[in-house]
């Protein structure tokens, strides 16, 4: 075993081997993978191997499609045969909302070059001859779905990496990790020590154990997931080599596919079961949990009714294996704050389907400092310190139960809440506020009043039951005094004799003078938007930086990673927990009394509360961009039409300046614009597609209804030549194209007169 490498990957499952393979593809070949048992000994060996492209998330769709494209050519590329069956798949819709979800995903997928299709019941039956289509409204067909042998996939990735120069050491358990004085990582194993510049934690459900070796807590719990494999079924034997498409019945919550001449049935059951709450047994490897088919009975019955041949076969095998879950079910991928060169790539619940894309993303983090795609939903910094063990468990179980739930645009799921409350929480609750959690903080989303709520669901792709509540709250903001409790903003205090000069290099715009406030954008070296902060200069070399609640770890990491080394010229202090925010910002302990005083004073004028949903509508009308919705690392401030916040000729320079010079010279390929949409009963959800004639020309990054303007609004990036007010385009909403006209921002109060009043 070599004693030094550029990168060490810990864990030889599908994900670790993919990370290793992708590193070598980027030319980083001085790499070593350490596996405590055999390759695939964790969750990989027993996975069902389903490889969907489908996801309601734009990012995951991209990630999974990278995987399926890679899987199709990997065997040949590296000279290792893989059983990979591209059978196509059908998802069934029992409800109108599910059909709406399908329509939304079909259009997203098309924008990524993936042709999904909506099938009628007759078309479903034609593709799957053993399925009853009674009570089915429609199906979604993914021609590129299928199943892969996870062990062969892992071995092929390992072979490709080895052939390019990587070393793989099996039966090599990492037992300790420390940082050397030179800033490298010293990794101790049962077979010796290896030192490296970078480490990737790809230890699957043991990702938390590896993180603990460097003093970090990762929010991961292990749940059990089961599938059954049947004996051969004569009808399938009779079909010879022909394979059925993979079937998913998300409204019932199971998948079913052909395995040799039998079927696999895998439910995501309500009785989600957690294991190892007090630690993972050291000896567990290449093992399964005991069968627990009692949990699956209802699902087996439903599946037999849907595909009667399933009920004719005996069960050959039950696979009940460990599957790691972070609170939201997405993996933890990205840099570990405060640990330069240490990365996570673990906690995958769909780690076969995502292995290819995840390997690309993490390899780019390590090799280039940033991945090509903005993968915030997977970013290991998205969970804040409140995501402790109990929270993670509650949320993971809820996520497992909703694994096939409908991906509504706005849904506030209850598990693990409340985690963090402002002092005004109980006051607002007593007034009937409905809450949503943002960065763990309970924030009122709206305040229903008698007569407000119309019949209909609280969550929907169409206008939900609370539409009238939001209209009332927006009107109140427009006409009277209104108050919003907005706890949890991320806040940093930056001080020190070098503070001004340092901030000047960090932001693309101008650092405000003492007593002034300015909105500022922090760019990556490639010009992409890393974060947005409101910078206030309290005095010379003393600043307050305020950003989104969810970005606390992410933003702190970015700031600290760029601090000048040595000395005390710049100090960054995270003061988020110390201060709350109403409309005005004040010391926390006074929030409740300030709230009461505002109400007392406002009652004479007719004061109202309002919530986040109203705020979202108000900001759409003002075209204020939302971080990680409208602003991501895939867009620069010039694309985001934020030119006025970029000082391209700043003499001292700033991070990303050169990339923005280059972009300014040719002009950005896309520009951010508001669109006024002729919507019917559904507004444009994020990642709706913008068309000019039959050509896709842009992407909606957020949308909704503007209650003061009485118009449906979408904020979108469109091809630059079309980003001209008055241009007529179309936005695809739930399968239909709606006329959309490019507006001039801000749509509401264009002269900002009310803002300045």
Ligand X SMILES: Cc1cc2nc3c(=O)[nH]c(=O)nc-3n(C[C@H](O)[C@H](O)[C@H](O)COP(=O)(O)OP(=O)(O)OC[C@H]3O[C@@H](n4cnc5c(N)ncnc54)[C@H](O)[C@@H]3O)c2cc1C
**399-458 binders of ligand X (CB under 6 A):** none
* Sign (positive or negative) of CA dihedral 625, 627, 630, 634: positive
**361-390 binders of ligand X (CB under 6 A):** none
In the block, residue with structure tokens 């010391």: 587
- Does position 350 interact with ligand X (CB under 6 A)? The reply is yes
Residue whose CB is less far from ligand X, 203 or 252: 203
- Does position 16 interact with ligand X (CB under 6 A)? The reply is yes
- Does position 91 interact with ligand X (CB under 6 A)? The reply is no
- Does position 353 interact with ligand X (CB under 6 A)? The reply is yes
Task: Give the DSSP H or E segment for 100.
Answer: helix 96-111
Residue whose CB is less far from ligand X, 272 or 477: 272
- Does position 272 interact with ligand X (CB under 6 A)? The reply is no
DSSP conformation class of 81: -
Residue whose CB is less far from ligand X, 38 or 643: 38
Residue whose CB is less far from ligand X, 233 or 346: 346
Q: Which of 14, 387, 406, 549 binds ligand X (CB under 6 A)?
A: 14
Distance of CA 322 to the CA centre of its chain: 23
User: Parallel, antiparallel, or unpaired: how do β-strands 571-574 and 490-495 relate?
Assistant: antiparallel
**473-512 binders of ligand X (CB under 6 A):** none
Residue whose CB is less far from ligand X, 33 or 684: 33
Return the SS3 of 72.
helix
- Does position 168 interact with ligand X (CB under 6 A)? The reply is no
Give the span between the Cα atoms of 342 and 200, in whole angstroms: 6
Shortest spacing between CB 276 and ligand X, in angstroms: 13
Residue whose CB is less far from ligand X, 41 or 690: 41
- Does position 555 interact with ligand X (CB under 6 A)? The reply is no
Shortest spacing between CB 45 and ligand X, in angstroms: 7
Task: Give the DSSP H or E segment for 530.
Answer: strand 529-539
Q: Which of 713, 630, 705 is nearest to 675 (CA)?
A: 713
The DSSP-derived string for 152-205 is: HHHHHHHHHHHHTT-EEESS--EEEEEE-TTS-EEEEETTEEEEEEEEEE--GG
Q: Which of 7, 11, 494, 511 binds ligand X (CB under 6 A)?
A: 11
Shortest spacing between CB 695 and ligand X, in angstroms: 34
Shortest spacing between CB 284 and ligand X, in angstroms: 9
- Does position 88 interact with ligand X (CB under 6 A)? The reply is no
Shortest spacing between CB 36 and ligand X, in angstroms: 4
Task: Please list, in sequence order, all residues whose beta carbon lies within 8 angstroms of the beta carbon of residue 625, skipping any fewer than 6 positions away.
Answer: 532, 631, 640, 642, 672, 701, 715
Count Cβ atoms below 10 Å from residue 291 Cβ, excluding itself: 15
Q: Which of 98, 225, 381, 382 binds ligand X (CB under 6 A)?
A: 225
Task: Give the DSSP H or E segment for 753.
Answer: helix 753-756
Using CB under 6 A as the binding criterion, the count of chain residues that bind ligand X stands at 43
Start-end of H helices in 308-402: 355-368, 389-401
Q: Do the Cβ atoms of 269 and 293 come closer than 8 Å?
A: no
- Does position 142 interact with ligand X (CB under 6 A)? The reply is no
Structure tokens at 616: 């979202």
Structure tokens at 330: 């997405």
Question: Which among 69-77, 225-233, 503-511, 670-678 is the span making contact with ligand X, rule CB under 6 A?
Answer: 225-233
- Does position 177 interact with ligand X (CB under 6 A)? The reply is no
Count Cβ atoms below 10 Å from residue 557 Cβ, excluding itself: 18
Give the span between the Cα atoms of 345 and 202, in whole angstroms: 5
The binding track of 286-325 with respect to ligand X, each residue x by CB under 6 A or -, is ---------------------------------x-xxx--
Question: Which among 223-231, 407-415, 653-661, 728-736 is the span making contact with ligand X, rule CB under 6 A?
Answer: 223-231
**323-342 binders of ligand X (CB under 6 A):** 323
Residue whose CB is less far from ligand X, 15 or 92: 15
Q: Which of 137, 164, 274, 285 binds ligand X (CB under 6 A)?
A: 285
With both helix axes pointing from N to C terminus, report the angle between 355-368 and 58-78 in degrees, rounded to the nearest 10: 90
**24-53 binders of ligand X (CB under 6 A):** 34-37, 41-44, 46-50
- Does position 10 interact with ligand X (CB under 6 A)? The reply is yes
* Sign (positive or negative) of CA dihedral 149, 153, 156, 158: negative
Residue whose CB is less far from ligand X, 350 or 489: 350
Give the span between the Cα atoms of 170 and 37, in whole angstroms: 6
Q: Do the Cβ atoms of 721 and 671 come closer than 8 Å?
A: no
Residue whose CB is less far from ligand X, 34 or 679: 34
Q: Do the Cβ atoms of 650 and 697 come closer than 8 Å?
A: no
Return the SS3 of 242.
coil
Task: Please list, in sequence order, all residues whose beta carbon lies within 8 angstroms of the beta carbon of residue 325, skipping any fewer than 6 positions away.
Answer: 220, 221, 222, 223, 347, 349, 392, 396, 399, 400
Count Cβ atoms below 10 Å from residue 191 Cβ, excluding itself: 12
**192-211 binders of ligand X (CB under 6 A):** 202-206, 210
- Does position 349 interact with ligand X (CB under 6 A)? The reply is yes
Residue whose CB is less far from ligand X, 205 or 376: 205
Give the span between the Cα atoms of 378 and 376, in whole angstroms: 5
Shortest spacing between CB 357 and ligand X, in angstroms: 11
- Does position 351 interact with ligand X (CB under 6 A)? The reply is yes
Start-end of H helices in 537-656: 552-561, 591-602, 612-622
Shortest spacing between CB 142 and ligand X, in angstroms: 14
Shortest spacing between CB 318 and ligand X, in angstroms: 9
Question: Which among 177-185, 220-228, 530-538, 688-696 is the span making contact with ligand X, rule CB under 6 A?
Answer: 220-228
Residue whose CB is less far from ligand X, 173 or 186: 173
Task: Give the DSSP H or E segment for 8.
Answer: strand 4-10
Shortest spacing between CB 660 and ligand X, in angstroms: 37
Residue whose CB is less far from ligand X, 273 or 449: 273
Q: Which of 8, 9, 12, 654 binds ligand X (CB under 6 A)?
A: 12
Q: Which of 84, 141, 348, 446 binds ligand X (CB under 6 A)?
A: 348
Task: Give the DSSP H or E segment for 320.
Answer: strand 315-325
Q: Which residues bind ligand X (CB under 6 A)?
A: 10-16, 34-37, 41-44, 46-50, 173-174, 202-206, 210, 225-227, 285, 319, 321-323, 346, 348-353
């Amino acid at each position: 075993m070599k004693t030094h490498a550029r990168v060490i990957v810990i864990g030889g499952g599908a994900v670790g081997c993919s990370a290793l393979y992708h590193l070598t593809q980027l030319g980083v070949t001085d790499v070593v993978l350490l596996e405590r048992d055999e390759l695939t000994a964790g969750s990989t060996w027993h996975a069902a191997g389903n490889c969907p492209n489908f996801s309601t998330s734009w990012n995951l769709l991209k990630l999974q499609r990278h995987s399926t494209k890679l899987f199709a050519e990997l065997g040949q590329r590296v000279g290792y045969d893989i059983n990979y069956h591209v059978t196509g798949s059908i998802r069934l819709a029992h409800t109108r909302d599910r059909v709406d979800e399908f329509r939304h995903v079909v259009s997203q997928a098309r924008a990524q070059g993936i042709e999904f299709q909506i099938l009628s019941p007759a078309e479903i039956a034609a593709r799957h001859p053993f399925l009853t289509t009674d009570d089915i409204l429609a199906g979604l067909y993914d021609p590129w779905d299928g199943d892969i042998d996870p062990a062969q996939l892992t071995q092929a990735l390992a072979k490709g990496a080895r052939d390019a120069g990587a070393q793989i050491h099996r039966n090599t358990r990492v037992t300790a990790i420390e940082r050397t004085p030179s800033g490298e990582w010293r990794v101790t194993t049962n077979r010796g020590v290896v030192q490296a510049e970078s480490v990737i934690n790809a230890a699957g459900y043991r990702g938390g154990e590896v993180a603990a070796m460097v003093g970090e807590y990762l929010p991961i719990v292990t749940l059990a997931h089961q599938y059954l494999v049947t004996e051969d079924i004569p009808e399938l034997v009779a079909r010879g080599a022909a394979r059925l498409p993979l079937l998913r019945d998300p409204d019932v919550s199971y998948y079913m596919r052909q395995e040799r001449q039998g079927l696999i049935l895998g439910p995501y059951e309500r009785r989600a079961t957690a294991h190892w709450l007090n630690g993972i047994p050291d000896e567990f490897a290449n093992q399964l949990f005991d069968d627990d088919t009692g949990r699956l009975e209802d699902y087996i019955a439903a599946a037999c009714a849907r595909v009667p041949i399933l009920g004719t076969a005996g069960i050959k095998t039950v696979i009940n294996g460990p599957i790691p879950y972070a609170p939201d079910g997405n993996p933890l991928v990205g840099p570990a704050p405060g640990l330069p060169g240490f990365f996570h790539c673990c906690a995958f619940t769909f780690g076969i389907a995502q292995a290819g894309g995840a390997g690309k993303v993490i390899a780019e983090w390590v090799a280039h400092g940033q991945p090509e795609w903005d993968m915030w939903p997977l970013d290991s910094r998205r969970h804040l310190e409140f995501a402790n063990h109990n929270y993670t468990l509650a949320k993971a179980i809820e996520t497992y139960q909703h694994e096939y739930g409908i991906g509504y645009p706005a849904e506030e799921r209850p598990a693990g809440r409340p985690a963090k409350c402002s002092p005004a929480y109980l006051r607002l609750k007593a007034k009937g506020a409905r809450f949503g959690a943002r960065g763990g903080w309970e924030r009122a989303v709206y305040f229903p009043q008698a007569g407000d709520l119309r019949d209909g669901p609280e969550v929907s792709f169409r206008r939900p039951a609370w539409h009238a509540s939001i209209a009332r709250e927006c009107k109140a903001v427009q006409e009277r005094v209104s108050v919003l409790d907005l706890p949890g903003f991320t806040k940093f205090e930056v001080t020190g004799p070098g503070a001004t000069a340092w901030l000047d290099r960090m932001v693309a715009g101008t650092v405000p003078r003492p007593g002034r406030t300015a909105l500022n954008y922090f760019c990556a070296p490639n010009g992409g938007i890393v974060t947005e902060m409101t910078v206030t200069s309290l005095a010379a070399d003393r600043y307050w930086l305020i950003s989104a609640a969810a970005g606390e770890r992410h933003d702190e990491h970015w700031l600290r990673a760029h601090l000048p080394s040595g000395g005390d010229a710049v100090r960054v202090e995270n003061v988020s927990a110390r201060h709350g925010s109403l409309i005005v910002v004040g010391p926390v302990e006074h929030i409740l009394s300030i709230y009461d005083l505002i109400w007392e004073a406002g009652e004479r004028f007719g004061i109202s509360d309002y919530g986040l949903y109203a705020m979202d509508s108000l900001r759409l009308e003002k075209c204020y961009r939302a971080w990680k919705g409208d602003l991501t690392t895939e867009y620069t401030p010039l694309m985001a039409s934020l030119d006025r916040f970029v000082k391209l000729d700043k003499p001292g320079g700033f991070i990303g300046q050169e990339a923005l010079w280059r972009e300014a010279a040719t002009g950005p390929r896309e520009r951010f614009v508001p669109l006024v949409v002729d919507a019917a009963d559904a507004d444009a959800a994020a990642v709706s597609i913008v068309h000019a004639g039959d050509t896709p020309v842009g992407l909606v990054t957020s949308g909704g209804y503007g209650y003061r303007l009485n118009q449906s609004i979408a904020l979108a990036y469109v091809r630059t030549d079309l980003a001209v007010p008055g241009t007529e385009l179309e936005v695809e909403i739930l399968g239909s194209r709606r006329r959309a006209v490019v507006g001039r921002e801000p749509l509401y109060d264009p002269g900002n007169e009310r803002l300045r009043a």
